[in-house]
Amino acid sequence: MKKITIIYFSGSGSTAKLAQSIGKGVSSLQEASLNIISIDENDITKGRYKNDAVISQLDESDAIIFGTPTYMAGCAAQFKAFADATIGSWSQQKWKNKIAAGFTVSGTPSGDKVITLQSLQAIAMQHGMIWLGTGEMPSQSNGVNRLGTWIGAMAFAEQNTASSITKDDLLSGEVFGKRIADFTINQLR
């Protein structure tokens, strides 16, 4: 059984909703064990994230999927505080050769989400991880990857409302989650 962990921060609930749809895709494969972790703002004190139990769970995962809203052309500060706290895992190379992927949501159709996904990819690369993109052509027929992204999953949600994520963006997340689980199961034997 491959352990796949989604770790994310969500300000208004829209990133959480996309995390759940990615998790649904991961869970569709019986050989995958899913763990979803929401970054708790209470674990951040004076700008520093501290939760050894969460870091330990990530160290034990076969794949880690990072998620954050796009705020001002980048990761949310809460997610960045978490990422900075992974220095111990980095220095011991605990995430090396694990599968990595990412997702983001912003309040405008572009919202510079690609910059956020590139930041997530850079964090994964520094850890020596293997980054997995969407692998989906933009589709007009079933709505998968309607925003035309390959680096990671993205969704558009009206600002401050989780209910406005389209069913197409949620389906894109589910398809992405299944791809990550399938790759993790079949490539990390």
The whole-number average pLDDT for the span 86-95 is 98
State the chain's mean pLDDT as an integer. 94
Q: Where are the alpha helices (DSSP H) in 60-141?
A: 77-84, 87-91, 113-126
Is the pLDDT score of 189 beyond 70? no
Per-residue pLDDT, 158: 77
The whole-number average pLDDT for the span 66-81 is 96
Residue 186 CB neighbours (<10 A): 11
What band does 142 get if pLDDT is binned at 50, 70 and 90? confident
The whole-number average pLDDT for the span 98-127 is 94
Per-residue pLDDT, 65: 98
Q: Please, are residues 172 and 136 in contact by the beta-carbon 8 Å criterion?
A: yes
- Give the separation between CA 129 and CA 96, rounded to whole angstroms: 5
